[in-house]
Amino acid sequence: MHECFLCGANGATDPLDKHHIFGGAYRKKSEKYGLVVYLCHSSCHIFGRDAVHNNAEAMRRVRQYGQRKAMRENGWTVEDFIREFGKNYLE
Closest CA relative to residue 84, chosen from 38, 21, 37: 21
Predicted model pTM: 0.93
Range of the domain at 49: 16-85
Average pLDDT, the chain: 97
Task: State pLDDT tens for residues 40-80.
Answer: 999 999 999 999 999 999 999 999 999 999 999 999 999 99
Number of domains in the chain: 1
Residue 83 binned pLDDT confidence (cut-offs 50, 70, 90)? very high
User: Is the pLDDT reported for residue 1 higher than 90?
Assistant: no
Please report whether residue 1 resides in a domain. Answer: no
Mention every residue, 6+ apart, whose C-beta is less than 8 A from residue 4.
10, 11, 16, 38, 39, 40, 44
Q: Is residue 27 part of a domain?
A: yes
What band does 91 get if pLDDT is binned at 50, 70 and 90?
confident
In a domain, 34, yes or no: yes
pLDDT greater than 90 at residue 13: yes
Three-point CA angle 48, 54, 59, nearest 5°: 110
Closest CA to 20 of 39, 7, 3: 39
